Amino acid sequence: MERLEELKKRLKERSPELELREREPMSRYTTFRIGGPAVLMALPRNMEQVQTVVREAKALEVEPFFLGNGSNLLVADKGYSGFVVKLTGEFEEICFETAPKNGKPLLTAGGAVLLSKLSQTALHWELTGLEFAQGIPGSVGGAITMNAGAYGGEISQNLIWVCGLDRNGEEQNFRASECDFSYRKSIFSGGGFLIVEALFQLEPGDPSAIKARMDQLAVQRREKQPLEYPSAGSMFKRPPGYFAAALIDQCGLKGFSVGGAQVSEKHAGFVVNRGGATCADVLELVDQVKERVLAQTGVELEMEVKVLK
C-alpha cells in the first residue's frame, strides 16, 4: 500500500494531466459486472502518459495490471489491492491508409479500440476480413493477447504487426509471425507487454456482402448466446477432442445456479450473472461444474476467464 501511495504521488508530480482514480469499482469495467474496488487506477490518454505510468511503476517495483474491455475477467469481491492501467484517448482511435508497396488497405488501431468499432470501421471503408469480430466484446489489445476468435475467424489472421510497451516502458514492434499465436494464446498472454497499437491488412469487399455476413453472425449470436445477461463469454477452454458446453450439457448442468451465478440455459459454456452474482458465487459454481464433469466424463475443464484478486 505504501508503494501505491508513493506511485500516486510520483505520477501526479511527473504527469499532472494523467487521470488517476482511487478505490475505483472494478464492476464498472468488466462485462460480468462483478468485482470490488481497485486501490489505484491510471487512465493514460497518450504515449507519453503511458510510458510515465509504466516506468514509474517499474521504479517502485509495482506490477501493473493492464485492463482491456474486461470481457474475459472475473474480479474478486474484495477488489484488487494493486495497480490497474486502462488505455483511453488516442489509444481508442483508428486510422485508414494504404500500403505504399502494394496498395493494400490498412487499418491502424489503438490497443483500447473495441472490436465492434474496428469491424464497423472496416465495413465503412468497404473492407472484408473482420466480420467475425463484430460481436466479440473485447478490445484490440485484449483480443491480440488471447488471439480472440469466433465463427472461423481469429484476430491474428489479418494482423501485420503489433506495438507493445515492455515493463521498462520501451516500445517494441512484433511482426505477426513473431507473436506465437495459437488457440487463445500468444507471446503476450503472460502479461509482460501492454499492447498500444496494431496494424491490420484487409481486402476490399462488397459492402452489402460484408454487412450481410455481420448481420448473419449477429443473429446466430443472439440465438445461441445469453447476451441478455452479463457474462465473461466462454467460461472454459475447449478440452482437446471435446467441447466444454457439450460436456456440461451432457452432465445436466444447464441452469445450475449458485447465488446469482448460473450456467446459462441457452449455452452451457457460459456462466451468467442473473443479478447480484458475486465472484464467490461464480467460483463456487465453476468448481462444482468441474467436479461433476470430471466425475461423469473423465474430462478436466480449465477456466478460460482470468481471475483478478
Catalytic residue among 45, 184, 238, 274: 184
pLDDT band with cut points at 50, 70 and 90 for residue 191: confident
CB 96 within 8 A of CB 183: no
Q: With the C-alpha atoms ordered 223, 227, 233, 234, is the resulting torsion angle positive or negative?
A: negative
Q: Is the pLDDT of residue 190 over 90?
A: no
Q: So what CATH class is 226-308? A: alpha beta
Query: 234 an active-site residue?
Result: yes
Stretch 179-190: mean pLDDT, rounded?
91
Distance CA 134, CA 176 (A): 21
Residue 41 has pLDDT above 90, yes or no: yes
Average pLDDT over residues 277-302: 98
Q: Which residue has the cell 489472421?
A: 157
Closest to 210 in 3D by CA, of 153, 290, 161, 284: 153
CATH number assigned to the domain covering 2-86: 3.30.43.10
DSSP code for 289:
H
Q: What residues does each domain of the chain span?
A: 2-86, 91-209, 226-308
Selecting among 19, 90, 126, 304, the annotated active-site residue is: 304
Residue 193: CA atoms inside 13 Å, Cβ hemisphere, count? Answer: 23
Please name every residue paired with 160 in a beta bridge, in sequence order, or none if there are none: none
Is 184 a known active-site residue?
yes
pLDDT digits 0-9 by tens, 226-261 = 999 999 999 999 999 999 999 999 999 999 999 999
pTM of the model: 0.92
Which of 15, 231, 234, 264 is catalytic? The answer is 234
**Residues 115, 116, 120, CA angle at the centre, nearest 5°?**
115
Q: Where are the alpha helices (DSSP H) in the chain?
A: 2-14, 47-59, 115-124, 140-145, 207-224, 244-250, 279-297
CA atoms within 13 A on the CB side of 194: 29
* pLDDT at residue 202, as a whole number: 96
- DSSP at 305: S
CB atoms within 10 A of CB 228: 10
Spatial separation of the C-alpha atoms in residues 245 and 237, rounded to whole Å: 10
Q: Residue type at 171?
A: E
Active site residue 304: yes
Domain 91-209 fold: 3.30.465
Radius of gyration of the CA atoms of the chain, in A = 20
